[in-house]
């Protein structure tokens, strides 16, 4: 199994030699490799069993480092970087040739992020290359928000997990780019639409349902537990599955269900706090996936604050 620790020098040494390391960010844990080393990038795809048409995000220590790998940062996106970096924002930018087409799945743009987690920022600032780092889980499964989740899923495939504790945000980054002068959100995430629009005005939100994505995180079915998950009117779903005799678990926003056993339900935020709900989402899905339930029943959140991003993950987790 992988060694778990807080040794930045060890992580840097492994990455510099072409190995993969799991790293903490404020969003989720990433499976990191040298983005300039095609063998390391191939190892990421192989380890995750990720399709090669789904591009990767590169991570850097600060915006000055970012400028080494992209041709330009449009004014509106520069404003977002100034406001939200370091943080859970990925910008889709025109890449320089030094970034391999393998990283971008042949696209002329690359997703770039400056993560906020202090351990990973320190690591990135010791390296002379960016890290390609999708979530550290088998492709399509629930994203990891703690080192032990990575150990459970990929522990036999990576030598080292840099332990940064539980992820503060718990949802992947918001991915933003531009097309023909229009700011576009390609993936809802840890920064709400309201916050993005407070900086750049009205944005276009693309539906996340592409089988040939323009950016990371656009596939329709993703973040899914292994057990079937059904999203809808929870009260109606419970009646239906009781009649069928199904053993079910329930995932709610901020209500408990007295008639459902405590070990078969997860309330994302008893106080109705969207940040807490986001932080608990993948933890909840993982816990219910490991329960004795045959199926997971879930309800959507109100479409405000991070509710839109949480609902996006729930819809994709329940997509057939």
Same domain, 167 and 30: yes
pLDDT above 90 as % of the chain = 91
Question: Is 147 contained in some domain?
Answer: yes
Sheet-wide strand order for 89-94? 3-5, 160-162, 21-23, 30-34, 131-132, 57-59, 109-113, 89-94, 174-179, 182-187, 204-205
For the chain, what is the mean pLDDT? Answer: 95
pTM value? Answer: 0.92
Residues 216/175, Cβ–Cβ less than 8 Å: yes
Q: Is 91 helix (H, G, I), strand (E, B) or coil?
A: strand
pLDDT at 320 over 80: no
Is residue 220 very low, low, confident or very high in pLDDT (cuts 50, 70, 90)? low
Amino acid 219: pLDDT: 64
What is the 3-state secondary structure of 119-166?
A: HHHHHHHHCCCCEECCECCCCCECCCCCHHHHHHHHCCCCCEEECCCC
Residues 91/176, Cβ–Cβ less than 8 Å: yes
Question: Is 216 contained in some domain?
Answer: no
Same domain, 138 and 61: yes
Average pLDDT for residues 247-251, to the nearest whole number?
98
Task: List the structure tokens of 169.
Answer: 């945000």
Average pLDDT for residues 156-169, to the nearest whole number?
97
Alpha carbons 194 and 261: distance in angstroms, whole number: 37
Which of 15-24, 57-66, 78-87, 219-228 is the least confident region?
219-228
Question: Is 222 contained in some domain?
Answer: no
Q: How many helices (H) and strands (E) does the chain have?
A: 11, 15
Among 220, 253, 218, 251, CA closest to 237: 251
Q: How many structural domains does the chain have? A: 2
Pairing relationship of beta strands 109-113 and 204-205 according to DSSP bridges: unpaired
Average pLDDT for residues 249-267, to the nearest whole number?
97
Task: List the structure tokens of 133.
Answer: 């780092």
Amino acid 136: pLDDT: 97
Same domain, 277 and 152: no
Same domain, 197 and 237: no
Average pLDDT for residues 184-208, to the nearest whole number?
94
Amino acid 166: pLDDT: 97
Q: Is 23 helix (H, G, I), strand (E, B) or coil?
A: strand
Name, in order, each residue with C-beta under 8 angstroms of 253's C-beta and a sequence gap of 6 or more: 267, 268, 269, 272, 277, 299, 301, 302
Average pLDDT for residues 165-190, to the nearest whole number?
96
Same domain, 14 and 162: yes
Amino acid 181: pLDDT: 94
For residue 148, what are the CA distances in angstroms to 190, 251, 286, 303? 22, 22, 12, 31
Task: List the structure tokens of 13.
Answer: 């040494």
Q: Which helix (H) or strand (E) holds 84?
A: helix 75-84
pLDDT above 70 as % of the chain = 96
Amino acid 266: pLDDT: 98
Which is more confidently placed, 216 or 14?
14
Among 106, 129, 116, 111, CA closest to 70: 111
Tell me the CATH number at 194.
3.90.870.10
Question: Is 103 contained in some domain?
Answer: yes
Question: Is 304 contained in some domain?
Answer: yes
Question: Is 106 contained in some domain?
Answer: yes
Is residue 212 very low, low, confident or very high in pLDDT (cuts 50, 70, 90)? low
Parent domain of 242:
229-317
Same domain, 66 and 180: yes
Question: Is 221 contained in some domain?
Answer: no
Is residue 216 very low, low, confident or very high in pLDDT (cuts 50, 70, 90)? confident
Question: Is 214 contained in some domain?
Answer: no
pLDDT at 224 over 90: no
Alpha carbons 320 and 316: distance in angstroms, whole number: 8
Same domain, 51 and 142: yes
Average pLDDT for residues 306-314, to the nearest whole number?
95
Is residue 51 very low, low, confident or very high in pLDDT (cuts 50, 70, 90)? confident
Same domain, 138 and 239: no
Total number of residues shown for the chain: 320
pLDDT at 210 over 70: no
Using one digit for the tens of pLDDT, what is the confidence trace for 76-134?
999 999 999 999 999 999 999 999 999 999 999 999 999 999 999 999 999 999 999 99
Residues 14/126, Cβ–Cβ less than 8 Å: no
Among all chains, which residue has been given the structure tokens 């629009």? 197
Same domain, 174 and 299: no
Same domain, 179 and 248: no
Alpha carbons 312 and 314: distance in angstroms, whole number: 6
Tell me the CATH number at 292.
3.40.50.11030
Same domain, 180 and 60: yes
Domain boundary among 171, 205, 239: 205
Amino acid 189: pLDDT: 96
Is residue 319 very low, low, confident or very high in pLDDT (cuts 50, 70, 90)? confident
Average pLDDT for residues 198-208, to the nearest whole number?
91
Alpha carbons 30 and 77: distance in angstroms, whole number: 24
């Amino acid at each position: 199994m992988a060694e778990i620790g807080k040794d930045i020098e060890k992580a840097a040494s492994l990455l510099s030699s072409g190995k993969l390391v799991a790293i903490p960010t404020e969003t989720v844990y990433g499976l990191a490799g040298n983005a300039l080393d095609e063998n390391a990038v191939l190892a990421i795809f192989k380890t995750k069993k990720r399709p090669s048409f789904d591009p990767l995000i590169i991570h850097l220590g600060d915006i000055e480092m970012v400028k080494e790998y992209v041709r330009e940062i449009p004014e509106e996106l520069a404003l977002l970087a100034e406001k939200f970096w370091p943080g859970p924002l990925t910008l889709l930018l025109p890449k320089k040739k030094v970034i391999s087409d393998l990283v971008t799945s042949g696209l002329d743009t690359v997703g770039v992020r400056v993560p906020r987690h202090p351990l990973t920022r320190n690591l990135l600032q010791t390296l002379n290359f960016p890290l390609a780092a999708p979530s550290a889980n088998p492709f399509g499964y629930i994203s990891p928000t703690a080192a032990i989740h990575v150990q459970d899923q990929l522990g036999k495939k990576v030598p080292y997990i840099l332990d940064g504790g539980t992820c503060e945000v718990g949802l992947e980054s918001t991915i933003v780019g531009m097309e023909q002068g229009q700011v576009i959100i390609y993936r809802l995430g840890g920064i709400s639409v309201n916050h993005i629009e407070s900086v750049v005005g009205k944005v276009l939100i693309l539906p996340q349902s592409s089988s040939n994505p323009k950016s990371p995180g656009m596939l329709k079915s993703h973040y899914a537990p292994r057990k079937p998950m059904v999203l809808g009117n929870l009260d109606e779903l419970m009646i239906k599955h009781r009649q069928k005799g199904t053993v079910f678990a329930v995932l709610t926003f901020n209500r408990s269900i007295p008639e459902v056993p405590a070990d078969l339900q997860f309330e994302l935020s008893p106080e109705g706090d969207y940040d807490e709900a986001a932080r608990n989402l993948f933890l909840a899905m993982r816990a219910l996936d490991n329960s004795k339930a045959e199926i997971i029943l879930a309800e959507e959140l109100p479409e405000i604050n991070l509710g839109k991003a949480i609902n996006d993950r729930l819809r994709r987790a329940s997509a057939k």
